Amino acid sequence: MNPDITRFNMVEQQIRPWQVLDLNVLSLLTRLDRHLFVPPAFQSLAYSDTELPLAHGECMLTPRVDARLLQDLQLQAHEHVLEIGTGSGYLTALLAMSCARVTSLECHADFIDSAQERLSRCGIHNVDLVHSEGIPAHSTAPTYDAIVLGGSVVRVPVALLAMLKPGARLLGVIGEEPVMCATRVVRQPAGRGHSQSLWDVVIPRLHGFAEKTAFHF
């Protein structure tokens, strides 16, 4: 496998055709070695358009989904981002290369260890990896400029909206199979959220979140 060629093909054949046209996002995808975040057994598929198995029944999302999430977050260099679900650390790395700081919550302790090693190998040090099942009870202050969910949810937990600064946004895939939609929620000054449906996609469930808690618009 030639990483330079396979990265190029990933961007040109999978990601651009999926309406990812932001030049900064495309540059990051071209620079970051995705194979460094893929389990050894699946190295030959590191740049393919498929979900790749991880431990605990989890998986890496396809490159085009990660790319579209990154594009639609519209991150700025000064921002602090909360990621729910570290997984392999690939999206974590892309986020960290796009903003000032990333706090990433992960319910599997071994994922944190492996992600930390991969991020360090890539020279990425502006990430705080936190072992957490769901949302920590004390994390309710409006701290974050953006929140991204690494898996799908039936509804977005109310507590996440309280963690956004006014005017900040959350991006996640919401719904139930076979109908799910990437949705951006912007927190309004009064504390409520304005929701915008962006694109249809089906991805695996995000572990550690109750199915019935929801925003109230």
205 versus 217: which is more confidently predicted? 205
For residue 183, which amino acid is it? Answer: T
The domain spans of the chain are 3-200
What secondary structure letter does DSSP report for 191?
A: S
pTM over 0.95: no
194 versus 95: which is more confidently predicted? 95
For the stretch 25-55, pLDDT in tens is: 999 999 999 999 999 999 999 999 999 999 9
| Residue 217 pLDDT exceeds 60 | no
Q: Give the pLDDT confidence score for residue 135 in this predicted structure.
A: 76
What's the mean per-residue pLDDT of the chain? 91
Q: Do 80 and 144 form a contact (C-beta atoms < 8 A)?
A: yes
Q: Give the pLDDT confidence score for residue 43 in this predicted structure.
A: 94
Q: Do 121 and 36 form a contact (C-beta atoms < 8 A)?
A: yes
Tokens of residue 35, six digits: 């194979």
Q: Give the pLDDT confidence score for residue 189 in this predicted structure.
A: 75
For the stretch 100-119, pLDDT in tens is: 999 999 999 999 999 999 99
Task: Say what percent of the chain tops pLDDT 70.
Answer: 92
For the stretch 3-21, pLDDT in tens is: 789 999 999 999 999 999 9
For the stretch 143-170, pLDDT in tens is: 899 999 999 999 887 788 889 999 999 9
Q: Report how far residue 70's alpha carbon sits from residue 89's, in angstroms, rounded to the nearest whole number.
A: 14
Is the domain defined by 3-200 classed in CATH 3.40.50.150? yes
